[in-house]
Amino acid sequence: MSTAGTGAGVEAGFSSEELLSLRFPLHRACRDGDLGALCSLLQRTPRAQLAAEDSFYGWTPVHWAAHFGKLECLIQLVRAGATLDVSTTRYAQTPAHIAAFGGHPGCLLWLIQAGASVNKPDCEGETPIHKAARSGSLDCISALVANGAHIELSGAGQRAASDPHTWPLASPPVPEERQWPDSSRHCSNPGFPRVHPVSLEPAELSPEPFL
């Protein structure tokens, strides 16, 4: 399956939400934390689909669960055979990168305890601790350091990750409307490409488009 380069708008007559439901139901279940729907889907979904990247952000279902802090969904996906250390095609980011940037220490700790790497670099050489420093997540930084994360690695987040005094100031928390940086910066941004809009919130909580 192609990654974030393909557009949701190519299928006329469908909204991004409808396309997400039709083409990526596993991803949507993880976004919504709908454990019942996810378990039902997993019973009839080929294992290969667990690694499918959506055409909006280039994430697998595990990345979606990690981004939203849906720990139970994350557990069920891995139990079903999903790879917990899978890297995205476009930005080479793992669920640990995504959980760290999203500020979800519970998901991050579970991934680490299940065997996820804490020092795996993305395409820009940034590891999960760089992402945690970017978002100012002290809990994620603490979890990573306690589990062997290297703080002397090179990368755009080096100073923030290596100096505890800068952690809360490394990057302001993502605002509620989640305005991600422009994709022209490529991998120097957290890795969430600004592509065709699809809500990253359950429809009932966010009537407005995500981007």
Q: Where are the domains of the chain?
A: 8-188
pLDDT at 206 (0 to 100)? 38
List, for the chain, all residue ranges whose pLDDT scores fall below the cut of 70: 1-14, 152-211
How many Å apart are CA 163 and CA 181, to the nearest integer? 24
How many Å apart are CA 168 and CA 186, to the nearest integer? 24
Q: Which residues contact 118 (CB under 8 A, 6 or more apart)?
A: 96, 112, 127, 128, 129, 144, 147, 148, 149
Q: pLDDT tens digits, residue range 149-172?
A: 998 654 444 444 445 444 433 332
pLDDT at 208 (0 to 100)? 39
CA-closest candidate to residue 96, choices 107, 80, 82, 81:
107
What phi and psi values does residue 79 have, to the nearest 5 degrees? -60, -30
Structure tokens, 206 = 């966010």
According to the CATH classification, is domain 8-188 in 3.30.420.40? no
Query: Three-state SS for 111?
Result: helix
88 φψ region: left (φ > 0), alpha (ψ -120 to 50), beta (else)? beta
End-to-end CA distance of the chain: 23
Query: Three-state SS for 59?
Result: coil
